[in-house]
Amino acid sequence: MTGLVRKIHIWAGLLVLSQLAIYGIAGLTAGVYASRARPNRPRSVRHVSFTPPANATDRQVAGLIYQQLRLPFTRPMPDWFLRHTTDHHLLLDFYNINGIYRVTVLEDEQRLRIEEIRNNLWLFMEDIHAATLADDGAPMPVRLWALWNEVALWSLAGFCLSGAWLWLATSRRHPWAWSALAAGSLAFAILWGTLR
């Protein structure tokens, strides 16, 4: 039995280590970018023909643009996020894990200006670490990542419990193991309280 628990402990530890590395990068990135604006310079700019229907509301126009463009990893624009430029053009920011697709409706030119603003690797890690299974509207790759997040969290509990088992199964109980047991119990309590 101890051999099986030891294998569970090792594999759970590796999964937890990989997850904690991503959470660590996300935390460091949040600290660095807390006082700085995110990248705002477009990586690419393109134009697409578009003529909004007469008397269409901003919400309807945003819905039509979403259906027409089908920008990767984006979702329909929420009503509360509709805004205009200083030139009174409808401005739509379609956020995704890779950055922003900024779409400006140029009615007088009957076209859309689409700017792709990309996150760097560190901002990507910060955005992706927050994916959860509760987000039903997320694209499939993001939902798979969220599932991986969930499995890693439960692996943390398994890692702590298997470590406690291995400690209790040994004849010599080292003093440092008491602190490890306390830390594991605290981590499990936090995880349990978060998921309830």
Identity at 62, one-letter amino acid code? A
Distance in angstroms (rounded) separating the CA atoms of residues 12 and 160:
9
- Please write the tens of the pLDDT for every residue from 121-164: 777 777 776 677 777 777 788 788 888 888 887 888 888 788 77
Domain definitions of the chain by residue range? 2-34+128-195, 44-118
- Count Cβ atoms below 10 Å from residue 122 Cβ, excluding itself: 15
- Please write the tens of the pLDDT for every residue from 154-165: 888 888 788 777
Q: Which segment of 26-40, 69-83, 124-138, 179-193 scores lowest on mean pLDDT?
A: 26-40
pTM for this predicted structure = 0.63
Looking at residues 46-69, what average pLDDT do you find?
92
- Closest residue by Cα to residue 144 from 73, 43, 67, 81: 73
pLDDT at 120: 76
Q: Which segment of 24-28, 70-74, 102-106 scores lowest on mean pLDDT?
A: 24-28
User: Is the pLDDT score of 194 beyond 60?
Assistant: yes
pLDDT at 36: 59
pLDDT at 167: 72
- Closest residue by Cα to residue 104 from 86, 90, 119, 117: 90
pLDDT at 50: 93
